[in-house]
Amino acid sequence: MVKEELDSAKLDSPVKKPKAPSSSSSQHMLVKIAVGSSNPCKIEAVKQALQRVLDRKAEEEQKANEAGEEPTDKPFKVVLEVEGFGVESGVADQPFGDEETRTGAKNRAKKAYEEYKKKHGSNPALAIGLEGGLEWSSPMDDDEDEDSDEIIDTLWCMAWMAVYGKRRKLLVDLLASEDSKFYTEKQKPTFGLAKTGMFPLPSAIAKMVQDDMELGDADDKLFGRVNGKKSNGTVGILTNNVITRAEYYEQALILALVPWIRPDVYGNPFEKEPSPGFFGHLICSSRNGKK
C-alpha cells in the first residue's frame, strides 16, 4: 500500500487536480491534522467533522462519476492522521465571553501548528483549536427561587472552534464542494472560525462557577464523577447522551471549515469573479471535462 502525504510543499499555478490513481492501485492520500489539545473528546470531534466533510465530497464525486461528469478512475482514499498537542490556550483556565473564548481557540490552533512543525519538520494540512467558554446573562424566569433572596444570573455554555492553515490547491480540492469552481489561493495560513450553540447550565453549577470553580470541576462535583470533560462532557450528561461533547463540537467544526468547503465565496471580498490563470484557480480540472 502506497501512502502519499499532503505536506507543506508549494504547488505550481494554475491549479490542476493530480491525476487520481485507479482504484486497483490501492493508494492513499495521508492528510495530517494537528489539534491544540490532548483531550480525547476534542480529538474525536475533529476526526468526525473532517470525515463527514470528506464523505460528503466522496458522495458528490460518486454521483458525478455515475453521471459521466468525472473520469472513471475513482479518487484515491483519503486517510486522516489526527494528532493532539497539549498546548496552552493563552487565556484564563475558564474563559468568559466570545472574545476571550475565541482567542483561546485561535491560540490553540496556532500553537498546535507550530508544535507539529517542530516535531515533524513540516506543516500539518490544518491545525485546529477548540475552546469552551461561558457567558453570564440576566436570570431566566424559571431560574428565580421565590423562597430565596439570592438571584443567580443564568450561566450559558458555549465553545469556539478555530481552523488554521493554508488554503492550498490540493487541500481545497479534497474538501471543496462541487459547486465551487474557482478559489483564491492563500499562501499564508488563515483562520476559519465558528461558535457552537449555547445552552443554560443548572443554577447549582452557576453558583459554583460564581465561586471561582471551573465548569469541569463543578460538573464533576454536581454529578459525582471524575473527569467528565474527557468523556461525554456537561452537554452529554444534561442531554442523556443525545448530544455528546464530541457531537456538540462537530457541527461548529464543520462550519469553521466553510472557507475550505466553499472557497469560491470566501476569498478577497473586493475580488470579482476570478478567471483561471489570473488570481483565481480552477479547483479541479476534471470538473471541466479535462484530464
From 103-107, 116-120, 143-147, 230-234, the region with the lowest mean pLDDT: 143-147
The mean predicted confidence, pLDDT, of the chain is 81
Cβ neighbours for 167, distance < 8 A, ≥ 6 positions apart: 183, 184, 185, 186, 190, 259, 260, 263
Specify the higher pLDDT residue, 287 or 82. Answer: 82
- Which pLDDT belongs to residue 5? 45
Domains of the chain (ranges; CATH) run 2-135+157-197+244-288 (3.90.950.10)
Angle at alpha carbon of residue 69, lines to 68 and 72, rounded to 5°: 60
- pLDDT over 80 at 126, yes or no: yes
**Gyration radius from the chain CA atoms:** 22
What is the mean predicted confidence (pLDDT) over 11-29? 47
